[in-house]
Structure 1
Amino acid sequence: MKNLGTASIAALRQYVRAAESAGADTSALFTKAGLDPAILDSNEDRINGEQFQSFILLLCELTNNPILGLETGDFVQPGSYSVLGYITMSCATLGEAVARIAPFEKLVGDMGTTGLAMAQGSIKLTWHCNYDDPIVRPQVVDNVFASWVTYARWLADDTAASPTRVRLKRQSPGAELEQAYRQRWNCPVQFGADEDSITLKQELMNTRLRQPDPMLRKTLEAHALTQLASLDTDTDLTSRVKHSIQQQLLHGITRQDMVAEDLGITSRTLQRKLSQEGVSYQKLLDEVRQKMAEDYLLNSDLTIPDIALRLGYSETTSFHRKFKAVEGKTPGEFRAYSA
């Protein structure tokens, strides 16, 4: 069976709130899923993914609601995203908040991973669900997308903010229920698609949020990185190294020995273990640098030489060369194209 990782209590709590609002008695579901209801009072504990998937399946069977996931999105709160929720609250723009999803979504749980791609005038968020139960999977995807839209509208203080298009792998729940998706998202929704994705107008990313606080965001991100490191295990070395690199790069440091020390191993051991996983330290460094570079270019006013310095490049020309090799554009062209 596929390892489904863990999920935060905050993610479980959202489903429970939705169920109780609909008048469902969830007490028996906790017992069947092997969960103690008292866990809802904890903000730090996590449950394993198999238990979370089992709880959602039991809830689907109890409610017999084919659009359960869509409706649970109405019950999202900042706390539903753990620390990530408070990080996004402190961002200056919606684009800044969106850029924080992928690096920190593991704090919410291992339900899936987010990909972000830019096309002319639009941004596409793709979500890859890790849950494999055929009943649970579509409900989890619906929940994630419905929660994103509801939460983004709240962050931006704009109830009219909507995607331009949503594509779902799930099959149509029927013509009558399809209308519930279009009413909530106010955009075309395609069922039976080859991906699960939301497309947004790029100009929407410039929307100012209600409580920007750059200093608080920095503090929360440092705390989030510490939490991420504590979640990782020895079987997830690549992820641990990437998180450590990201933390070091916040100080412009790229040294492998310092990352190894942070992980409690020698530099030689780190090199050997990465080699066994078919990657190198330099490759991981390049990947993290590229993501952070794109974030800085899209969501900050830092000059390109300043960004290069922050990412540990000794010369701006080296940054230009590396960035263009990956993106096909110089940092300046990338920023101008995305403006």
Structure 2
Amino acid sequence: MALLELQHLKKYYATQKAVDDISFSIQQGSIFGLLGPNGAGKTTLLRMITGIFYPDEGSILFDGAPFNAISDVQRIGYMPEERGLYKKMKIGDQVLYLAQLKGLSKTVALEKIKFWFKRLEMESWWNKKVEDLSKGMSQKLQFVTTVMHEPKLIILDEPFSGLDPLNANLIKDEIYGLAQRGSTIIFSTHRMEQVEEICDHIVLVNLGKKILDGTVQQIKQDFKENKFNIRLDGVPAGINSNAFEVLSSDMHDHTVKIKDGYKSNDVLKYFIQQDINVEAFNEILPSLNDIFIRLVEDTNAKTRSFQKVNV
């Protein structure tokens, strides 16, 4: 079941189309990646989802009903990339204040704060001020203020910014845990390796339009180029086959690309016939970073060509 559905959303700034007819849905309990280069329309989309902006056209359904910016915002946790904390305020007082704004009683809020502070190793922070925190410490604090009221939808914009590897793993584990407990998470980042590791489903936007929508594994399959890594027992004198071309070789390891009309079995058959032992045979799938660059550059090039024709 979809927790969030975006239907033909449009948002304009003067003559610029920040969001241009974008539709997609996000399933309950999933970790969803919203990707795109700077200026693609991601922030505008997030601000419409959270009720900060209203769409000029289109609609948003939240939990099966039209989105209500007043009541539904209590069921959303939004962690923006920029800091939204009071620098001079004590951390404990600040988290308590923000929790009560989200509808928690003081008693419940204090219980939740103690739980999260202990879980993220922040117990000694209560009387510190935000201005005394490092960027990574501020990021952990902002994460707590985002998830403490147990929102159904959690939006995390660059959540690992400023975190060392240990704390990044700590936050990552909490993201998995929140999804397992039923929260739906929108994860926005420029770090493609994090998306591959964390997200179930992604949407890529560029120049205000959706240019990719699917599961991480399906997208990698869709963009594969029939390339394989082969490790051989011994160094063959020469490799020459109609079934594939050798892209690179390094002693025992070779990268090949299978030609049209042939299959992986044809590659293996060649080496068997040559009496060469194959120790490993692995398909090379493109990284999301490679796919991201390829699609963004392609859409940018098409847009420039269109603009030249219409000048």
Which has the higher relative contact order, 1 or 2, with Cα contacts under 8 A spaced 6 or more apart? Answer: 2
Larger Rg, first or second structure (1 or 2): 2
Which structure has greater strand proportion? 2
User: Which structure's residues are more often helix, by fraction?
Assistant: 1
TM-score by length of 1: 0.22
TM-score, with structure 2 as normaliser? 0.23
